[in-house]
Amino acid sequence: MVDLFERYTDLDDVAQRLAEGDAGERRVAILELADSGDPGAVRLLAAAMADPDAGVRRQAAVALGEFDGLEAASALAIALLDVDSGVAAAAADSAAELKDVDAAAPLLPLVSHERPFVRASALRALRELRNEASLKPALAALADKDPDVRVEAVGTVGYLKDRTSLAALIAAAADAEPRVRRASVGALTFVRDEAVVATVLQRLSDADWSVREAAAEAASFLSEQPAVGAALIAALDDEYWQVRLKATRGLGRLKVRASLRKIASQLDHAEANLRKESATALGEIGDASVVPFLEPALNDPDPDVRKTARWALSRLTE
């Protein structure tokens, strides 16, 4: 057995062991290819995707994540179709690491594959590549029957930031699946548009708290109009502290003075993260009237809250 910690960069030697060694030795050879950084290793890794041992194929799919370009993408597109779910999952993770825009070519046909996992994985990889050719199939995938596919389609469309896709993303924000609605709200923030603002504010009343959280985070990036501030103030009454935290962050970013008292009242909340965010927002808004509310936070049991309170007070009393 080859020493795992001994590095080989001779591709001919590795190729021979991939062809003749036992499964364990072949996996070690794959690790060496991943560490080599040699572009020629991609050819051997692609060939290893036909290995009879699923463990070797899985290791090869992982190793392909260390490389980029069309050849690596082509090998990963094949690996996504592997009968072994572990191999396919490893290929999906590696494909998501691709950065070369030209790597989209072998992935695009997979968006219409019969298996939902393959469709979703292809879209996940295409999102990072931001290839304009992926817009049309991704828009079509927004109507896919599988929610995982629709979630990934939203990401792919959103990353392209094409204004012609706004209507489709707005429609997706009303999808029956909460994860799709959440993803759509985040994807809409690339443009300030009245219809987009209206959609995001509407999602602040969504039945699912995670969608409301995403909407609260998105709202402050879209507009500084009074309606946004008012909606975020209303979100401070949400039953979920996670939603209140994002609303607090947005109000601090927008410096909404009308929210000062409600934010200050959160300095007594049981959740330390919300107390810390409240202290941050009060410091960002910059109104000295909240100093009496911040001073007790200097003795907060959480060190991060105490540190943030000191920072906020320094801004308000300097």
End-to-end, the C-alpha distance of the chain in Å comes to 68
| DSSP, res 51 | -
**Can you give the residue ranges of every domain in the chain?**
1-106
Contact at 8 Å (CB) between 128 and 140? Answer: no
Domain 1-106 has CATH 3.40.50.10490: no
Closest CA to 223 of 197, 200, 198: 197
246 vs 181: CA distance, rounded Å: 17
pLDDT digits (tens), the chain, 318 positions: 444 445 455 788 888 888 877 898 889 889 989 888 888 899 999 999 999 999 999 999 999 999 999 999 999 999 999 999 999 999 999 999 999 999 999 999 999 999 999 999 999 999 999 999 999 999 999 999 999 999 999 999 999 999 999 999 999 999 999 999 999 999 998 888 899 999 999 999 999 999 999 999 999 888 778 899 999 999 999 999 999 999 999 999 999 999 999 999 999 999 999 999 999 999 999 999 999 999 999 999 999 999 999 999 999 987
Nearest Cα neighbor of 155 from 136, 133, 183 is: 183
* Helices and strands, counts by H and E, the chain: 19, 0
